[in-house]
A and B are shown apart, each in its own frame.
Chain A
Amino acid sequence: KAGVTQTPRYLIKTRGQQVTLSCSPISGHRSVSWYQQTPGQGLQFLFEYFSETQRNKGNFPGRFSGRQFSNSRSEMNVSTLELGDSALYLCASSSGTGMRGYTFGSGTRLTVV
């Protein structure tokens, strides 16, 4: 069974640009969440989607947005990039049942210069 796939793995963008990150969940998983990891801050919740609907949202500015498609694939978009947006962005998927929580992808490393 394929795991959570995130593309691209690495990305370098310039301040002020926008970026779109992609996530393909485990087959059959309908719930997708996004997290931002920065040094010293741990993982911070961005948003959660279930069946194409945003179910939960973290405390990030409106520049951060996401969506989920009918096949459960998800994208997140960051507009007007700032240097502080440099981070590892992690996508995780869940079947919604069981005790093992979310399965994470390997992440997209975004560097803003």
Chain B
Amino acid sequence: EAQVTQNPRYLITVTGKKLTVTCSQNMNHEYMSWYRQDPGLGLRQIYYSMNVEVTDKGDVPEGYKVSRKEKRNFPLILESPSPNQTSLYFCASSLLGLAGAGEQYFGPGTRLTVT
């Protein structure tokens, strides 16, 4: 089954404790992206990757890191999480970039709480 998986689905952590949220897709997609969703603000892009070893900042990259060493994986790293990073996070992938390339597949989401 074609899908995007994220782990963990739920995480409660404390300020400053490094964490990684994993994202994996099994569709051989080139494009992958991370979004966060906050009440009243909608989904906003954090980082994206157009292909292996190619990553770039989205609209809200501060406090996050990513890497794309393999085509299927795109982990999101919070080196020193803070309470303002409490949010619902979504990973997404698509075959190519978004300008007319068709559908983007989203993962099930990771609900992160930083205390």
Asked if A and B are interacting partners, one says no
Binding site for A on B (CB under 8 A): none
